[in-house]
């Protein structure tokens, strides 16, 4: 018996009836030989970690663009915090932690440089719009090319969780697994709390400015608020599981109301605030100019994106190329194109080389 089969059997014996058993996965688009040690979701997790798009997250903005200091979140640290929160909730609900981790690590690989500012400008420029969750699917199934095939060939469960991680409303469609629902909620828990932390570090927010009712309900410190949200979600969702009704991974009504209120407060105070608005305008200016430049000069893109331009159209290729850029690369490319610089070789003066 392969070790993988031992792990799959252990899942069948120990996971909640609501959890996804690896051996019962809906499979991949392209069938492939199974790994002797790792389950399908473990393989997915490892493919994501070793992908170029995952590595680039360390240089993509979470909220504040290129802040001075090493302690502000990036898109990568956000992803790791989502994974940690989601794994804790998943453990409390006895769900498949390998599936949860794979979804968490992959959920933002399609995000643009400069966070949601980049997403907004590409959405306005592209004829068919641009949404980062849908682009994450495109990155995972089309852009990444580890072998002769396109895409990472991930399981349908992982792709579904990535696609449905975005949004926080009752009308939005949900993942077909509880593991996917865990990711969606964990994303909100993570960014609301760590964005408060980063905003306070930046001097843009004081604790006494946050409505007292939210702090009284969730906690006055970063760790207290996360602990309240995670613990309450586990107990509330377990109650729904025991009742054997429709299960939606969520906190109790009182706690969820506080989380949504705190999220709305952050939108008003920080995300749509003066500093973020000023940063957003600069970022949008850069991305808009790069977009029009590459639309006119598709030959300036790398080989992969030139091929996409021929197969799917220039607009798709340009959106793919720009959305994959890190913040620093995007700024550097803009400077190379638009910022004047001397073309005289260093050390030359009046046609004569000047030695030190």
The domain locations on the chain are: 3-22+34-337
Write out the H or E segment, with its range, that includes residue 283.
helix 274-296
Q: Go through 20-55 and write b for each residue having 16 or more CB atoms within 10 A of its CB, e for each that does not.
A: bebeebeebeeeeebeeebbbbbbbbebbeebebbe
The three-state DSSP-derived secondary structure of 217-228 is: HHCCCHHHHHHH
Q: What is the CA radius of gyration of the chain?
A: 23
Please tell me the predicted confidence (pLDDT) of residue 65.
73
Whether the CB-CB separation of 247 and 240 falls below 8 Å is answered with: yes
Give the integer Cα–Cα distance in Å for 133 and 138: 9
Give the integer Cα–Cα distance in Å for 59 and 76: 8
Longest dimension (CA), the chain: 86
Please tell me the predicted confidence (pLDDT) of residue 346.
60
Please tell me the predicted confidence (pLDDT) of residue 41.
98
Write out the H or E segment, with its range, that includes residue 340.
none
Does the pTM exceed 0.85? yes
Residue 28, SS3 per DSSP: strand
Whether the CB-CB separation of 251 and 232 falls below 8 Å is answered with: yes
Q: DSSP state, 160? A: H
Please tell me the predicted confidence (pLDDT) of residue 355.
52
Please tell me the predicted confidence (pLDDT) of residue 20.
98
Q: Which residues pair with 28 in a beta bridge?
A: 155
* Closest C-alpha to 23, from 14, 15, 12, 13: 12
Architecture of domain 3-22+34-337: Orthogonal Bundle (1.10)
What tens-digit pLDDT sequence spans the chain (356 residues)? 689 999 999 999 999 999 999 999 999 999 999 999 999 999 999 999 999 999 999 999 888 776 667 888 999 999 999 999 999 999 999 999 999 999 999 999 999 999 888 999 999 999 999 999 999 999 999 999 887 778 999 999 999 999 999 987 665 689 999 999 999 999 999 999 999 999 999 899 999 999 999 999 999 999 999 999 999 999 999 999 998 778 999 999 999 999 999 999 999 999 888 888 888 888 899 999 999 999 999 999 999 999 999 999 999 999 999 999 999 999 999 999 998 776 656 655 555 555 54
CA 307 to chain centre: 26
């Amino acid at each position: 018996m392969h070790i993988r089969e031992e792990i799959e059997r252990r899942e069948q014996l120990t996971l909640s009836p609501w959890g996804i058993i690896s051996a019962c996965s809906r499979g991949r688009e392209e069938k492939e030989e199974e790994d002797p040690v790792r389950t399908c979701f473990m393989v997915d997790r490892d493919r994501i970690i070793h992908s170029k798009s995952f590595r680039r997250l360390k240089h993509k903005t979470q909220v504040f663009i290129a802040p001075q200091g090493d302690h502000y979140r990036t898109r990568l640290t956000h992803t790791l915090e989502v994974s940690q929160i989601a794994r804790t909730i998943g453990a409390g609900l006895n769900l498949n932690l390998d599936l949860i981790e794979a979804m968490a690590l992959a959920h933002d690989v399609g995000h643009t440089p400069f966070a949601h500012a980049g997403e907004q400008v590409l959405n306005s420029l592209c004829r068919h719009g641009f949404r980062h969750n849908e682009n994450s699917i495109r990155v995972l199934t089309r852009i990444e090319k580890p072998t002769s095939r396109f895409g990472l060939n991930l399981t349908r469960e992982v792709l579904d969780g990535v696609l449905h991680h975005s949004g926080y409303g009752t009308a939005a469609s949900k993942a077909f697994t509880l593991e996917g629902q865990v990711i969606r909620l964990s994303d909100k828990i993570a960014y609301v709390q760590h964005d408060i932390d980063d905003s306070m570090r930046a001097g843009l927010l004081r604790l006494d400015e946050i409505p007292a009712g939210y702090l009284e309900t969730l906690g006055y410190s970063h760790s207290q608020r996360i602990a309240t949200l995670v613990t309450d979600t586990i107990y509330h969702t377990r109650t729904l599981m025991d009742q054997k009704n429709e299960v939606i991974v969520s906190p109790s009504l009182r706690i969820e109301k506080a989380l949504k209120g705190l999220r709305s407060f952050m939108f008003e105070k920080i995300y749509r605030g003066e500093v973020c608005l000023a940063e957003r305008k600069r970022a949008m200016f850069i991305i808009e100019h790069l977009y029009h430049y590459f639309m006119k000069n598709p030959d300036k893109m790398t080989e992969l994106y030139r091929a996409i331009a021929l197969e799917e159209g220039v607009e798709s290729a340009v959106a793919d190329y720009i959305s994959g850029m890190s913040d620093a690369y995007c700024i550097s490319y803009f400077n190379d194109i638009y910022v004047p610089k001397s073309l005289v070789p260093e050390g030359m003066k009046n046609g004569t080389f000047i030695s030190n």
